[in-house]
Chain A
């Protein structure tokens, strides 16, 4: 019998541009996850840990990262670790991460499978490794297993290790190392450990091909990631028993706040935030604002959320809301600040010139109230006037987006509020 941990696609050193400099926090979290996974492997008493490719995000990751990883491996010298180059970190030559000094002088428990080979795992179990040497290829990397396995005893447990996309119709690219869906049985393998896709995919080729997915989610859409596979094969020919162990450190959550139902949105959000508060340091949170609201309401919610998101490892606020006035507010504005009312109308005109959809002034639709028709604007802003006005500030009308005009209106109201305060 043999028990091993199967994982892949750690992509240590990955980039998180959407979070700016906070991406470093996510990269650090992955190393925490790796350390914890190795601890889990030790605790489970596995015979080996198989990394089926893409341990590193790129061959040009920094030495410090490589040294840390090797350090983590070295810290558990009893744990046999097998590292297979994938398409992100192929064994492509001297530039490859596998030729760094730290890996060239890796401790004895770390085995880097730079070339296709058969490794005796002991206990009549053999590991057949087919590493990648380039980023793209139309060749099935599991093909060579047929020949490699032919030379092994029939009663030996044969475990394949490679990296590529499962050749599922309309789900893979032809040059993305397509692996046949029967690659394990074709070569007479008891188990084929692969990596490449980031979601857990266990039941291919009768359960003999497993894609564990990335152990640490890397986007909001990866619901089925964050696992490693604990595999047990009793003997040659037996179906492997595969268990998904959750190892992810970070929780990625995406929440919505719709101004259409301010109160319920707020209540819901408050509840979730409270729930997540204890694990805020391990949570990547995105809150999206949508709908329209009065200026002060928008300001207040934004301010509240800016504060509420601060404790999170990454707290991202995506603002798709828009400011709007109620008819009463607009009428009041017209009376008290006629010029300002005209300015708002001018903003509407500008937006229409810029290709926006606003032909009438935005109103807050309050349930069964019918939005009032817009106030006619005397001396409506002409395109020529708009171009003259914007030209003086070297602003290109075509560069102004609906989001900008939302911000413009918000700016006007916010400044007005500040002045009135």
Chain B
């Protein structure tokens, strides 16, 4: 197909009608600025050529002028091998479609509406999508020959049936066997319902259905088999339980018989045991009786012996009691006498003590009195010393507080002053005055800072030294000022002044007028301090143990009080007072020596008295014990006599007779017992336990039987329940269905695989065949690309789908298409499109549309491309849309959009 003209109404920016064309058969250049409507015009033409007039997609709405709901109308005049046509379509609002053909100089309507759309498809070999607007892949050959704006490197591929295959066949001169292609499609049609493209069974297909059926049947069979397995288990359990029940019942019967025998034996043995017990009881009774009689006899003998002993004991006790009473009387008499003598002795001793105490007290009084006197004297001394210390302290306080260090400083300053004065004098003014008459002058400054009036004797020279200035006042004469100009003198004078000032300041601070005074003050202070030290030592010795004089006074007062107290207490007589210290001491010694002997004698007396008392108590106790013993013996005697009487009363015939009778009874009972014992069977004592064990065994077996019966019955129930479900028949039905399902599955699978393999093998061979003829096409494209780029060394490589896969010197070292620059891609596809267009043009004129492509191509290559396009324009209609008119000056037919 080639285009002749395009008319637009209400399309894009064209609210009114515009026309593009007429298009020349060869190269056409439609250049206009961006957004001028170039591309939308061609897009609108595509809609008119390929879309149904009733399409209402966004692509159609995009044709409407912005902000309006105007119905776009597009008219395209085109030509195919079958003639020249004009399609007129209105979209969206009241859509229409009219197809006309040029006949006899007029446009004759040949189809309208849907028919027109259908005729267009047939004319252009285009297709329609399921819904919505068409896309380039539906546009027949034009889909391959139109490099759209923004998509210059997009190549639809040639796999699709119809147009794609037609182009393939043209490009590679491959004579595709239509029968084989049809065979391939038919095989695909058979495969598709069975298998997916990945070889899985297709849902809803015969294979999947058979597989699902099989799975379902297998699941049911598994469940059935599980039930059968339960049945088998139940059968095993039933058989085992039945066998066990039989075995246990047999054992139960055997054990029951044995238990019965054992029970009989046990009963017989029990009876014999009873008899034996009776005899044993009788034997025991006889033995007890015999023992009792023997014991009584023995006891009687003992009692009689005891009675005799008791009687003897009574006699002895009476004698002892009598002796004890006599002794007691004697002791009491002696004790009374001693107790009377005791107080007398004690009084004498006490008197002796009192004398000694008084004497000692008198001696203490004398001592206290002496002590108080001593302390008083000490107090006086201490007070004097304290007063003296205070005096020294007062004197010291009056002295200037001048430390030796300050004194040294004063001396230093004085020395410094002297030295400076000497210097100054050496340096300063020396004025000698020798008056003729006695006179008085006043010299300033004075040496000591006071106005100095000097009396001068006639003829005597008086030397005055001054540092710098000397101001003399001569009576009745006037004043004379003498100044020195020496700097050094000035300096020394300043220093001297400074030293003098410092000296005066320090003296003032120390509160002494002069240095001598300072020395004296320091010397006096030192002396006072030495005196203080000596007095402090004396004071301390006077205070003794006391810290202060007050304490000493207190001690003196205390001593005085003691003396007074003791005097008041003793009230010494005159005689006593007259006694001398020695006399008192002698008396005290005498008493002290005598007192211990007297005390010792009293103690001895007391000991003897205690012994008497003790003896008296002992004898008293003895007497009481004797009386008590006698009483006890009397009681014992009575008891013994009573026992003997009771004992002898129990045996009417006498104890010996009773003993003999008991011995005879015992012997007889023993004989009967032994006879009965001999009748018992061996192990008779184990029979009850054995009987019990047998009963327990029977019970156990009974329990086991019950349990196994229960198990058997349960298993039986299960068997009856499961056995009645007809599992085998159900399984049979399922197995037969499964066999059929397997056959269906295998058949479907085999069919699917067979058709799939056959299809794929055909495809494989087709591609192999295609590949065999690729080389010429590659060479052709390589030449075209070389012509475009000026580089003939690079080859173009294609794959079996006739897609450009890359360029390079070899296939192995090529640059993949995707990695090429945009310009290279555009150029490669231009070559391919040109090749396609050339081939198609052999059957029918073709248009190649290049919408704003080659924008990434440099100017040099652009020229080459134009050369190629110009050459191709002899065989093709080429329509170039561009916004770079400069690139296409002088090229082809200029097309404009006219309104």
In the complex, A57 has a CB within 8 A of chain B: yes
Q: Mark A395-421, 1 if CB is under 8 A from B, else 0.
A: 100001000100110011001101110
Question: What residues of chain B lie closer than 8 Å to A381, measured between beta carbons?
Answer: 761, 764
Verify A63–B762 contact, CB threshold 8 A. no
Q: Is the CB of B726 within 8 A of A63?
A: yes
Whether A99 lies near B769 (C-beta < 8 A) is: no
Known: A20-B740, A60-B727, A411-B751. A419 touches B762 (CB 8 A): no
Residue from A61, A92, A337, A412 within 8 A of B728 (CB atoms): A61
Query: Given contacts A63-B724, A407-B754, are A20 and B736 in contact (CB under 8 A)?
Result: yes
Which single member of A23, A57, A93, A408 contacts B235 (CB below 8 Å)?
A93
Interface residues of B in 679-724 (CB under 8 A from A): 715-717, 719-720, 722-724
Q: Is the CB of B179 within 8 A of A389?
A: no
Complex: chain B residue closest to A57, CB-CB: B728
Quick one: closest A residue to B744, CB to CB?
A20
Contact of A415 among B183, B715, B766 (CB under 8 A): B183
Given contacts A13-B729, A99-B720, contact A389 B757 (CB under 8 A): yes
B220 CB to nearest chain A CB (Å):
15
Question: Which of B195, B738, B766, B768 has the most chain A CB within a 10 Å cutoff?
Answer: B768
Instruction: Identify the closest chain B residue to A93 (Cβ).
Output: B238
Residue of B nearest to A96 (CB): B723
Q: Would you call B199 and A394 a contact (CB within 8 A)?
A: yes
Q: Is the CB of A412 within 8 A of B720?
A: no
Contact, CB under 8 Å: B736 / A15: yes
With A60-B228, A385-B764 as contacts: A17 and B736 at CB distance below 8 Å:
yes
Closest CB-CB distance, B598 to chain A, in whole Å?
Answer: 133
Chain B CB within 8 A of A350 CB: yes
Q: For B760, what are the chain A residues with a Cβ–Cβ distance below 8 Å?
A: 389, 392-393
A353 within 8 A of partner (CB): no
C-beta contact mask, A72-114 vs B, less than 8 Å → 1, else 0? 0000000000000000000011111101110000000000000
Cα(A261)–Cα(B242), bound, Å: 66
Given contacts A343-B761, A389-B764, A393-B195, contact A100 B732 (CB under 8 A): no
Shortest beta-carbon distance from A309 to chain B in Å? 15
Among residues of A, the one whose C-beta sits closest to the C-beta of B739 is: A17
- Chain B contacts with A in 190-215, Cβ cutoff 8 A: 190, 195, 198-200
**Given A93-B235, A95-B234, A95-B719, A339–B732 Cβ distance below 8 Å?**
no
Within 8 A of B (CB), among A335-351: 336-340, 342-343, 346-347, 350
From A21, A340, A392, A404, contact of B199 by CB (8 A): A392
> Does B332 touch A at the CB level, under 8 Å?
no
Cβ contacts under 8 Å, B182 to chain A:
419
B756 at the binding interface (Cβ < 8 Å): yes
Number of B interface residues, CB 8 Å?
59
The answer on a CB contact under 8 Å between B183 and A62 is no
> CA–CA, A347 to B756, complex, Å?
12
Per the bound structure, the CA–CA distance linking A245 and B52 in Å amounts to: 83
**A18 adjacent to chain B (CB < 8 Å):** yes
Instruction: Give A81 to B190 CA distance when docked, in angstroms.
Output: 59
Q: Does A255 contact B (CB under 8 A)?
A: no
CA distance A22 to B737 in the complex (A): 9
Q: Does B239 contact A (CB under 8 A)?
A: yes
Contact in complex: A337, B180 (CB < 8 Å)? yes
- Contact flags A1-43 to B (C-beta < 8 A → 1, else 0): 0000000000001111111111110000000000000000000
Residues of A near B242 (CB, < 8 A) are 93
Known: A95-B235, A394-B198, A411-B755. A342 touches B765 (CB 8 A): yes
From residue A276, how far is it (CB to closest CB) to chain B in Å? Answer: 24
A59 at interface, CB cutoff 8 A: yes
How near does chain B come to A329, taking the closest CB pair, in angstroms?
15
The answer to whether B758 and A415 have CB atoms under 8 Å apart is yes
What residues of B have a CB within 8 angstroms of the CB of A350 in the complex? 757
Point out the residues of chain A lying under 8 angstroms from B186, CB to CB. 415, 418-419
B360 CB to nearest chain A CB (Å): 135
Q: A58-B728, A407-B754, A411-B751 are in contact. Are A337 and B722 (CB under 8 A)?
A: no
B259 to chain A, nearest CB (A): 32
Taking CB atoms, residues of chain B closer than 8 Å to A234 are: none
B762→A339 contact, CB < 8 A: yes
Residues of B within 8 A of A420 (CB): 179
Asked whether A415 lies within 8 Å of B190 as measured between CB atoms, the reply is yes
Determine which residue in B724, B732, B751, B761 has the highest number of CB atoms from chain A within 10 A of its CB, and name it. B761
Is B758 a contact partner of A412 (Cβ separation < 8 A)? yes
Min CB distance A308 to B, Å, is 20
Q: Chain B residues near A18 (CB, 8 Å)? A: 739
Evaluate contact between A95 and B754: CB separation under 8 angstroms.
no
Chain B residue contacts of A404, Cβ below 8 A: 750, 753-754
Q: For B234, list chain A residues within 8 Å (CB).
A: 95
Q: In the complex, are the beta carbons of A60 and B758 less than 8 A apart?
A: no
Write the B726-750 contact mask toward A (1 if CB under 8 angstroms, else 0): 1111111101111110010000001
B286 CB-CB contact with A under 8 Å: no
Pairwise interchain contact B729-A65, C-beta atoms closer than 8 A: yes
The digit string for A40-66, where 1 denotes a CB below 8 A from any CB of B, is 000000000000000001111111110
Residues of A near B730 (CB, < 8 A) are 62
Any chain A CB within 8 A of the CB of B547? no
Judge whether B768 and A379 touch: CB under 8 Å.
yes
| B754 & A408 in contact (Cβ 8 Å cutoff) | yes
Q: How far is the CA of A94 from the CA of B231 in the complex (A)?
A: 10
What's the least CB distance linking B278 to chain A, in Å?
Answer: 60
Report the minimum CB–CB distance from A333 to chain B (whole Å).
11
Which chain A residues border B239 with CB–CB below 8 Å? 92-93
**B238 with A393: CB separation less than 8 A:** no
The reply to whether B737 and A21 contact each other, CB–CB distance below 8 Å, is: yes
Report yes or no: A60 in contact with B755, Cβ–Cβ below 8 A: no
Contact among A14, A21, A64 for B726, CB-based, below 8 A: A64
Is A359's CB within 8 Å of the partner chain B? Answer: no
Within 8 Å of chain B (Cβ to Cβ): is A360? no
Cβ–Cβ contact A95 & B722, under 8 A: yes
Question: Do A20 and B179 touch (CB < 8 A)?
Answer: no
- Check if A270 is an interface residue, CB within 8 A of chain B: no
**Interface flag for A390 (CB, 8 Å):** yes
**Interface contact B753-A20, CB-CB below 8 Å:** no
- The answer to whether A95 and B723 have CB atoms under 8 Å apart is yes
Instruction: Report the minimal beta-carbon distance from A327 to chain B, rounded to whole angstroms.
Output: 21
Are B736 and A23 in contact, with the CB atoms below 8 A? yes
| In the bound complex, CA of A392 to CA of B720 (Å) | 54
Chain A residues with CB under 8 A of B235: 92-93, 95
Which among A57, A62, A390 has the highest number of chain B CB atoms within 10 Å? A62
Q: Check: B725 CB closer than 8 A to any chain A CB.
A: yes
Smallest CB gap from B191: residue in A: A393
Residues of chain B in range 160-206 having any CB-CB distance to chain A below 8 Å: 177, 179-180, 182-183, 186-187, 190, 195, 198-200
Given contacts A93-B238, A94-B716, A94-B719, contact A393 B757 (CB under 8 A): yes
Q: Is the CB of B762 within 8 A of A343?
A: yes
Which B residues are in CB contact (< 8 Å) with A392? 198-199, 760
**B198 to A: closest C-beta gap in Å:** 7
Are B179 and A416 touching (Cβ within 8 A)? yes
A385 to B738, CA, bound (A): 36
Q: Is the CB of B728 within 8 A of A59?
A: yes
Residues of A within 8 A of B720 (CB): 94-95, 99
Q: How far is the CA of A394 from the CA of B195 in the complex (A)?
A: 10
Complex: how many Å from CA A339 to CA B769?
A: 8
Q: Please list the 6 inter-chain residue pairs (A to B) with the smallest Cβ-Cβ separation, ordered nearest first.
A: A62-B726, A394-B199, A20-B740, A95-B719, A95-B723, A62-B729
Give 7 A-B contacts (CB < 8 Å), ordered by A residue. A19-B736, A60-B725, A61-B729, A63-B726, A92-B239, A389-B757, A404-B754
Interfacial residues, chain B to chain A (CB-CB below 8 A): 177, 179-180, 182-183, 186-187, 190, 195, 198-200, 228, 231, 234-235, 238-239, 242, 715-717, 719-720, 722-733, 735-740, 743, 750-751, 753-758, 760-762, 764-766, 768-769
For the A-B complex with A389-B760, A419-B183 known, give 17 more contacts whose Cβ atoms are closer than 8 Å. Answer: A16-B736, A19-B736, A19-B739, A20-B736, A24-B733, A60-B723, A60-B731, A65-B729, A93-B242, A336-B177, A337-B179, A339-B766, A342-B765, A381-B764, A394-B199, A408-B757, A415-B755
